Amino acid sequence: MIQKNNYRELKQRLDQKKVKLVAVSKTHPPEEIKALYDLGQRDFGENKAQELIDKQPRLPEDIRWHFIGHLQRNKVKYLAPFIHLIHSVDSIRLLREINKQARKQDRTNNCLLQVHIAEEASKHGFSCEEVKKTVEKGELKGFKNVRICGLMGMATLTEDIQKIRKEFRGLYTFFQELKRNGFNDNPDFRELSMGMTSDYKVALEAGTTIVRAGTLIFGPRKY
Ligand SMILES: *Cc1c(COP(=O)(O)O)cnc(C)c1O
């Protein structure tokens, strides 16, 4: 069930700060997504390629689909024709495949580099060092059909706000550093995707530009 009041409050709060909202619709059926669409929401996020491939044709064409989960290279070709932003680019091999499939579609695909900021080893992503080296070596310049729009990060799953704040602030600082040095000639590099239902307030304080919220908007997920 969509939580209309939660949605409206969140949307208003983010609009005031010019922060974008991605409604994370994973596990929720197309009817629920359509109900939120009818309230004006256009950006939706999914974390499983197959689920997104199934849902996309059943929903309005002007939805901007965000991919936020670990993406296998063999699935990229299915998303390349329509995806709006891939938040979870965690390797150069994946980026190369996205570039290849985007070129076939005569498109440029928007991507964020996922940076590993959490304590948990389970979370995917580059380390800050890896991103720095990749940028210094100019490795991203060869990908003409991808647009690197910024960074994405997930904080450790913990109740410890201080810890979450430290991780988000760290990523913000790194983002600013890259904007000045490495992406200084690239106005596309301007998005920072941090914060979900449990920690979006901390992310807002830390300077996020995109919040990805699911539970707050759609209620709990049933797996
Ligand atoms: C599921 C998911 C979210 C949203 O989580 P909620 O706690 O439901 O807001 C955000 N980001 C990613 C990467 C996710 O997989």
* % of the chain beyond a pLDDT of 90: 96
Could you tell me the distance, in angstroms and rounded to a whole number, from the CA of residue 153 to the centre of ligand 1?
A: 11
Dihedral of alpha carbons 43, 147, 197, 175, sign: negative
Q: Please give the Cα distance from 208 to 81 (Å, whole number).
A: 28
Which residue, chain included where needed, has tokens 């991919």? Answer: 67
Per DSSP bridges, beta strands 146-154 and 191-194 are parallel
Provide the terminal-to-terminal Cα distance of the chain, rounded to the nearest Å. 15
Does the structure show a pLDDT above 90 at 121? no
Output the six-digit token pair for 78: 């299915």
pLDDT for 167-209, tens place per residue?
999 999 999 999 999 999 999 999 999 999 999 999 999 999 9
What confidence tier does 213 reach under pLDDT thresholds 50, 70, 90?
A: very high
What pLDDT sits at residue 209?
A: 98
Does the structure show a pLDDT above 90 at 120? no
Atom in ligand 1 nearest the alpha carbon of residue 47 = 15
Name the residue type at position 160. D
Could you tell me the distance, in angstroms and rounded to a whole number, from the CA of residue 211 to the centre of ligand 1?
A: 9
| Residues comprising the chain, all counted | 223
Output the six-digit token pair for 222: 């049933």
Could you tell me the distance, in angstroms and rounded to a whole number, from the CA of residue 24 to the centre of ligand 1?
A: 6
pLDDT for 35-64, tens place per residue?
999 999 999 999 999 999 999 999 999 999
What confidence tier does 123 reach under pLDDT thresholds 50, 70, 90?
A: confident
Average pLDDT, the chain: 97
Q: Is the pLDDT higher at 146 or at 122?
A: 146
pLDDT for 80-118, tens place per residue?
999 999 999 999 999 999 999 999 999 999 999 999 999
Output the six-digit token pair for 4: 């209309």
Atom in ligand 1 nearest the alpha carbon of residue 24 = 4
Residue nearest to ligand 1 atom 12, measured at CA:
68
Which residue, chain included where needed, has tokens 């304080």? Answer: 205
Nearest by Cα to 191 from 38, 49, 43, 9: 43
Q: Which of 204, 212, 216, 222 is the best mutation target for the ligand 1 pocket, counting ligand atoms within 8 Å of the beta carbon and taking the most?
A: 212
Does the structure show a pLDDT above 80 at 122? no
What pLDDT sits at residue 52?
A: 98
**Cα 216 to chain centroid, rounded:** 17
Output the six-digit token pair for 112: 């964020």
Q: Please give the Cα distance from 111 to 141 (Å, whole number).
A: 14
